[in-house]
Each structure stands twice: as structure tokens, then as C-alpha cells.
Chain A
């Protein structure tokens, strides 16, 4: 039957929710790293016991944590005795050392002036599909870093910022690489998304990157609505069986591409509003996708106080509201971009967390929902591991 482990990052710690394949009864462990902002936790596809976590603080900066026993115990990578001392006799302690390659340069600031690049935190960790020691980190200010030693040290893939980085600008939440998608059929192809720069793709393992934003329109955010970069992409998702098909929740608009981002087409269809943050794909149905419509960029809560997940079984355009078990009055939470995930059990489980501290789960593809927990700190991220 399998089991499910849901990894929840919140404003004040991390929580791990576990259940058997029925997904009716849940055990909650945590808070792990109590009091720290936990932007993201994600398990390795090839070693379910290995989980990477991004732990941050406005006071004390970035920490990377790693568990090798499924979240029971954690350590910053590289803290074994043999790892500690560098050639100069000083401790290495480099797992939280994120340094931009070369001259950091500048990007566009909110007021249109140029602003120096400054590392702030890691928003997203994406473990390799094949090697448990390889993991990618999406950073604010926007950059992608790679570790090939289990998170002990990091090196920037600087070609990304060469893709017109001077024209990128921060969204309301900062300027970060928040989405990293690895192509399961082509090891040299990686997609990333940045607010507010857009979507980018490498086809050479990260040496060079190109903007893939044709078809995106941002008439209220950019002077040129069709600009090559500068779009506020909130999230992208892909089904592993079709790595050339991507779905996108942009600041406004839901879009899809069928040619790896060379051209995007809007599929917002009958959504009550096409503003929102997360988007995800059903584990077994590549044309079934989920979004959570949010009123607007000025009103970051669901329309009419009704928390509704919208599902399209046609890859967009035709959407149905999923409401069973979700609050349908007086609900004014938000669902952040990294706070939705699916399991791969049958039927597919869907999960999302809110800024009000609820984590909702559906064990039937979204037809009905139950709160797994109700009173956590604001949820930043939700990831799922489906275990044998």
C-alpha cells in the first residue's frame, strides 16, 4: 500500500506528517528547527531517507540541513570530524556559503535603478533525480547553486544570471529562483523560474541559459507586455512522463507550453481569477492540473472568502471548483507557490498548506479534502515523499 511523508516548511519551523496509504490518520513530528524560517524541505528521489532543508533567519542567515534517516535526525552537511578542518587549519563549515561567481553585478530595483546582487537565502532545494549527493539550490537574490558533495559546498551556475540578469527585478517577496525542474529524460535540460524575471532553460547542463517567455503577457507589470525577461512567474510544474509540457501560474494568467517553453499559451479559461501562486500536476494523469485562485495581486486571499482548489482534466481552459471539505466562508488565507504537492499513490493524493497554518490533504485526487493539521505557523512549502 505504501506510506506518505509530507514535508512542511513554515515560518517558525519544519513539520513532518506521516500516514499509511489510506491517508486517513496522520502522525505529526516537529517543530524541527523551532523558531527558524524553513523555506523548503525536499527528499531525494533515489534515497528517500535523505532529505535536504533550507533553514534561514533574518538575524543569522542561511543554514543547510540534511537528514539521512528520513527526518529523524538532522545535521548541516560537512560536520563530521574529517570534514571540519581546511588546509589552513580553519574549519570549513561551508554548507551555508553561497558566493556569486565573479563580479556579482547589479539587477533592476523596484524603482528601476540598478541594485547590487546580494545573497539572502535559499528558497528551493531540488535534489538530483539520479545522485543523492547532487542537489540544486534556488537562491534570493536570484541564482542557482549546485552541490555535488551532499550539500557540503556550493558553486553557482553563473550562466543563469548572464541571461539578461541586469533586467531582472524583485517581486513583492523578493527576487528568487523558486522553481527548479529537472528533465527526467534529458540530464542536460533544467528549467527554472524567477520572480520577477521569468522562465529559463538550459540544454547544456547549466552552462548557458536562455529565457523562455514567449507568449507571456504582463501588461500591468512591464512597459513592454511581451518583454523577453521581467515577467513575474509564480510557479511551474511538469509531469515526468512529458518533460516538454510545462504548466505555469504567472502573477496573472495560467499558461502551458508543449514545446519546452519555446511558446506559451494561456489556459486560464473559466477560472474565477487567474491570479495565484502554486500549480501542480496529477501523478498519473498528465493533463490533470491544480491551481488555487487568489483574488488579485492587491488582495492575497481567495475570492469571496471561499477556499477553492480548481482542477482541470483537460490541461487547462476547462476548470472545476473543488470545495468538499474546504472552508467556503470567511477564509482569507493564501497558498504560497511552493506549498502544493502530490503523492504517487493510487488514487493520487494532493496536499497544500496555507498562510493560516492549515495543511489540507486529499486522498482522492482533489474530490474531497481534510485538514491534516490546522494550527501550524504560516506554511511556506509542502513536499511529499511516497514511500514503499
Chain B
């Protein structure tokens, strides 16, 4: 079971109270997690990555297991702790301003 934590505004947009949990077939990658997330919550399409190119939006970052995975290729396998649900996959709004 993959656990995904969304930033405040995207949780509100998708009408979620807490983290999201769902199954993803192996290999579990940033790409496959985002595909599965958007399949469940289509309102999130275009908010995390571009509709067409699927490139990550510039002010969105991906963290897991205390590592910044934002710049990793989307097909990179996620850490085992994320795959087995011990650690969440964090989608984060980049720090900006104040």
C-alpha cells in the first residue's frame, strides 16, 4: 500500500482529509504513483505535472525517506520503505516567499 501526502491546497481541491493510500503495481516509481493518484482524483491532473508533457510543475517537489526526489527521472524506482508503506511519498509545494 502506497501512502501519498498532498499539500494543503491539493487536499482541499481533491476533498481529502489526510493522506491517500492505494495499491500500485511493481515497479513503483514517481510516474506510476502519479498515474495512480490522478486516476483516482482527476481534479489533480495538471496541478502536479503538465497535462501534455507530464513534466513536474516548477513549484512542486517530491520527497521520500528524507531525500529530495524531484530531479530524479520519473521512472526511477521509489525506496522500499515507500513501496511497503512504511514511509509516505510527499508531494510538496516548494518554499517560496515569506
Contact = CB atoms under 8 A, between A and B. Distances in A.
Contact of A93 (B45, B52, B60): B45
Interface residues of B, number: 24
B60 A96 contact: no
Interface in B1-53: 7-10, 12-13, 35, 38-39, 42-48, 51-52
A327 interface: no
B57 A60 contact: yes
A76 B43 contact: yes
Contact of B57 (A59, A63, A99): A59
Interface in A68-112: 76, 78-79, 84, 90-94, 96-97, 99
Contacts of A97: 45-46, 51
Interface string B68-87: 00000000000000000000
A63 B45 CA distance: 10
Given A59-B94, A63-B13, A99-B52, A93 B44 contact: yes
Given A96-B45, A99-B51, A58 B59 contact: yes
B6 to A, nearest CB: 10
Most A C-beta atoms less than 10 A away, residue of B9, B38, B96: B9
B14 to A, nearest CB: 10
A92 B93 CA distance: 24
A140 to B, nearest CB: 16
Contacts of B93: 59-60
A311 to B, nearest CB: 39
A332 interface: no
B9 A93 contact: no
5 contacts: A35-B9, A59-B57, A59-B59, A62-B46, A93-B38
Closest 9 CB pairs of A and B: A91-B42, A93-B42, A93-B45, A60-B47, A59-B59, A59-B93, A96-B46, A97-B51, A76-B43
Given A79-B42, A92-B42, 11 more contacts: A60-B9, A60-B47, A61-B46, A62-B46, A63-B47, A78-B42, A91-B38, A93-B38, A93-B46, A94-B51, A96-B45
